[in-house]
Amino acid sequence: MAVGASLLGLHTGVISKLPAHDIGSYMKGKIRSFGVSDDFFMYDHSPAARVGIYYYENGAIPESPRLSTTDTTARSTP
């Protein structure tokens, strides 16, 4: 919703907590790239920090669409 409103010229922002690893940084940068404010993002540095990612696959006839999820607990290495 925030990205859509931003693309229409409205000032938008998101309040969220992201894991402090590469996927969290990517998500923050991607949201910023659409003009959405990230002033209220926080990084979670705890070992249990994670983010759920959903993948939607359109099914070719006769298959129906599928929704897959993954729980990312990947850690960036120094």
Question: For 17-57, how does the pLDDT look when each residue is reduced to its tens digit (9 = 90+)?
Answer: 999 988 889 999 999 999 999 999 999 999 888 888 777 77
| CA atoms of 32 and 29, how far apart (whole Å) | 5
Domain membership of residue 43 as a residue range: 12-72
Are 38 and 31 a contacting pair, CB within 8 Å? yes
| CA atoms of 45 and 71, how far apart (whole Å) | 16
Please give the pLDDT value at position 52.
80
Nearest to 20 by CA among 60, 51, 53: 51
- Domain assignment of residue 7, yes or no: no
Please give the pLDDT value at position 77.
43
- Domain assignment of residue 31, yes or no: yes
- Domain assignment of residue 5, yes or no: no
Question: Based on the structure, what is the number of domains in the chain?
Answer: 1
pTM: 0.63
Structure-token pair, residue 47: 């070992």
Taking only the tens place, the pLDDT of each residue in 54-69 is 777 777 777 777 777 7
Structure-token pair, residue 14: 């998101």
